[in-house]
Structure 1
Amino acid sequence: MTMQKTPPPLDPKAPLVADARTMSRAPGTTKEWSADVPLTENLGLDMIAIPAGEVLSLRLRLTSVSEGILVTGTVSAPVRGECGRCLTAIEDTLEVDVTELYAFEGSTTAETTDEDEVMRLRDDLIDLEPLVRDALVFAMPNTPLCRPDCPGLCPDCGTPWDELPDDHGHEIVDPRWAQLKKLL
């Protein structure tokens, strides 16, 4: 038999903790929750990330349902990176819709699901950090592009195609014929 590790208590004043202690558990009760939270460390992938110091903007609605609190809304943040084709710097805003059920302690949902299947309220506090982190990182493209039709780099000289004239090209001479070219 494996013992489940009890997570540490949540701080109700932490920036990514929503307090549902004042909400009624009657289904349909809603509460608007907004926060602008500065990011303390980079969040993202190698080619695109939300840099430390940028502000995450959360605009959420907490709705009491029979089994817990349903969190819906949007999370947005500025992202920076480089194009996967031409290596041009990218600056954009990533906006992600989120929906997550946080099960009440002792609810049927909490009792019949594994720890990692459904998020759970802890002392009627909602830890939004995993939801926000996962939503933003999973929405980031593996290969970010400066624009969908980016032509990339010239394979011979490495210059971005956008910076080259339309007639740009490189003469490819078979090395076996190179000595003959010198005779001309």
Structure 2
Amino acid sequence: MSTQRTSARPDENPWIFSTRELGRRPGAQRTVARTVPAPEGDEVIGLSGVIAVPGGSDIDLDLSLESVTEGVYVSGTAAARLEGECSRCLDPITDDIEIRVGELFAYPDSVTEETTDADEIPRLVDERFDLTQTVRDAVVTDLPMAPLCTPDCPGLCSGCGERWADLPSDHGHETLDPRWAALKERLPSTD
């Protein structure tokens, strides 16, 4: 079994794959390697504003398509570059991610299609499937909810908003209880 390096036709969505070569013969299998552009705009893959695969950037797919009784089982990996910001200090961060994907795309008129809701399992349409949602779901579930630039990032000073990493070790802010503020104005300064 050899890996095919494929690309979509210029007028075709690169996230859509054909299963025509597999037929409906259980056990028929082929591998596909393809680089596709990440969706842009509302279709972004990730947690918008926190960390995501930048729209238009490359996502490398290495997939195995296997014909099974109820459809085509797609498994493999998707590798991409993430960009976002640290949830503590707000510095920009980048990272590489490689996630595993695995999804059954049901044949039309199969028992699986008849016994599941339309949004419960994806379907093959005209012997083709769209992998966009499968990859999006796999990436989003693998992303950190609060990405950090380093595991021990100290964050920002709540008093001045500066990065703790850039401040001297004795940095601090005098806090005065607002109930005593009026007295401070009346007492002479000890400076």
* TM-score bracket for this pair, using the shorter chain length: 0.7 to 0.9
Q: Write the distance in 2 (CA, Å) between the matches of 1:172 and 1:25.
A: 73
Cross-structure match for 2:21: 22
- Structure-1 separation of matches of 2:72 and 2:161: 53
- Which structure 1 residue ranges, 5 or more long, are not aligned? 1-10
1:57 CA drift (Å): 1.2
- 5 Å matches for 1:58-77? 58-77=61-80
Q: What amino acid maps onto 2:175 in structure 1?
A: I
Structure 2 residue 130 is the aligned partner of structure 1 residue 127: yes
Between the two proteins, the alignment pairs up a number of residues equal to 174
Identity percentage over the alignment?
A: 45
Which residue of 2 is the match for residue 151 of structure 1?
Answer: 154
How far apart, in 2, do the equivalents of 1:66 and 1:40 lie? 32
How far apart, CA to CA, are the structure 2 residues paired with 1:32 and 1:108? 26
Question: Given the two structures, how large is their TM-score scaled by the length of structure 1?
Answer: 0.84
Q: Against the structure 1 CA distance between its residues 123 and 132, is the aligned structure 2 distance closer, same or farther, given a 3 Å change threshold?
A: same
The alpha carbon displacement at 1:142 in A equals: 3.1
SS in 1 for 2:146: coil
Aligned alpha-carbon RMSD (Å): 2.2
**Rounded Cα–Cα distance in structure 2 between residues aligned with 1:68 and 1:93:** 32
Q: How far apart are the structure 2 equivalents of 1:127 and 1:183? A: 72
What whole-Å deviation, never above 9, does each CA across 1:126-151 have from its counterpart, x for those lacking one? 11122122222333333222123222
Cα pair 1:18 1:33 within 8 Å, conserved: no
SS state at 2:20 partner = coil
Q: Which has the larger helix fraction?
A: 2
2-side partners of 1:73 and 1:158: how far apart? 44
Aligned to 2:51: 48
User: Which amino acid counterpart does residue 158 of structure 2 have in structure 1?
Assistant: P
Matches within 5 A, 1:152-171: 152-171=155-174
1:31 matched to 2:30? The reply is yes
Counterpart of 1:52, as a letter, is G
Superposition TM-score, scaled by structure 2 size: 0.81
SS of equivalent residue, structure 1 residue 109: helix
Q: Which is further off, 149-158 or 11-20?
A: 11-20
C-alpha deviation, 1:152, in angstroms = 1.0
CA change 1:168–1:181 in 2 (3 A) is: farther
> Secondary structure of the residue that 2:32 maps to in structure 1?
strand
Q: Aligned partners of 1:34 and 1:181: how far apart in 2? A: 76
Matched, 1:172 2:186: no
